Amino acid sequence: MLSSSSSFPTLVPDPIVALPVSPGSSELLAEWLREYAQRDPSQPMDQWLAGLIERRAALAREQALREAIEVIDYIDESHVLHGDLKQHKQRGKSRSSWIARQVEDIARWSKASPEDVAALGAMLAGLPLPQRAPAELPGGPLRQPQWNDVTRINFGKLIESGHQATVAGGLLERGEPAALSEAASVLLKDYPAANTLVQDYIEGRLDPALRNGLQATLASATAMVARRGGFGVELMESVGRGEVIPGWFAHQTYLGTENARVL
């Protein structure tokens, strides 16, 4: 199952998934953006988003609220982690050491070994597993390298380098940074408030509350596209079986929008 427990998805992000998009999906995303631009700001974001999910996905109110809260919490936590990483780097420390520290934190609350957490992280990120040394006896089991000052940074570098390569490669291949602003302007040409929101996000002018709300709205809209088969039958069926949960769409949305904006 693709889940979003604690900081784990942000720590070991999947590559941005290149999904086949059906005609009409962009219009659905634009529709949700227009709804967000017109929402009553006095209404709590989770209640507003739950109402939108309830109406559009025909879900029970309780389920829609759970989905809205999961998506919003994931987006909020992702930005908190990003801020923590920024402060870590401002102190002259490397991104790799920050990743290693997150591995150790996850190992503590999950009661697992840091070696196993890091190896799982590398696997989920689509990276080769760290080299394991053979046991003393031929044909014996393999053992993980010990977690020490050298291996912890090597694990961090492995996850970091693999993630940067997959994200940068995918974005550049699709021309996403340049296309994002242009696509928004076309889709939202008759809705200036929604278009302004998107352009301000791209230029980094949105305050955190509006930025996070926009990303949460897009994440829920993306889940809606998947439910309707807009990303293919396989993903639609996986969503229906509960194998792909709302946090996964929030994860992909956070990575896609943030990296496109930065690039």
Q: Which two tokens stand for residue 254?
A: 């956070």
Is the model's pLDDT at 93 over the cut of 70? Answer: yes
**What was the pLDDT predicted at 179?**
53
Q: Which two tokens stand for residue 42?
A: 């006095």
C-beta of residue 27 within 8 angstroms of C-beta of residue 97:
no
Classify residue 242 by its DSSP letter.
Answer: T
**What was the pLDDT predicted at 35?**
94
Closest to 124 measured CA to CA, from 228, 35, 28, 14: 14
pTM over 0.85: no
> What sign does the dihedral 88-90-93-94 (CA atoms) show?
positive
**At 244, phi and psi to the nearest 5?**
-115, 115
- What distance in Å separates the CA atoms of residue 128 and residue 131, rounded to the nearest whole number? 9
Looking at mean pLDDT, say which of 59-73, 166-180, 248-262 comes out highest.
59-73
**What was the pLDDT predicted at 15?**
39
**What was the pLDDT predicted at 159?**
64
Percentage of residues in the chain having pLDDT higher than 70: 68
Give pLDDT tens digits for 226-250: 898 888 888 888 888 888 888 888 8
- What distance in Å separates the CA atoms of residue 122 and residue 129, rounded to the nearest whole number? 6
- Span 46-71, average pLDDT: 94
- Span 7-13, average pLDDT: 37
Is the model's pLDDT at 9 over the cut of 70? Answer: no
Is the model's pLDDT at 256 over the cut of 50? Answer: yes
C-beta of residue 244 within 8 angstroms of C-beta of residue 226:
yes
Q: What is the mean pLDDT of the chain?
A: 76
The total number of residues shown for the chain amounts to: 263
Phi-psi region at 157: left, alpha or beta (left = phi > 0; alpha = psi -120 to 50): alpha
**What was the pLDDT predicted at 167?**
45
**What was the pLDDT predicted at 27?**
84
Give pLDDT tens digits for 28-53: 888 999 999 999 999 999 999 999 99
Which residue has 């995303």 as its token pair? 29
**What was the pLDDT predicted at 184?**
76
- Mean pLDDT is lowest, of 20-29, 38-47, 83-92, for 20-29
Query: At a CB cut-off of 8 Å and minimum separation 6, what does 129 contact?
Result: 119, 122, 123
- What distance in Å separates the CA atoms of residue 188 and residue 33, rounded to the nearest whole number? 9
Is the model's pLDDT at 213 over the cut of 60? Answer: yes
- Span 195-212, average pLDDT: 91
Q: What is the CA radius of gyration of the chain?
A: 20
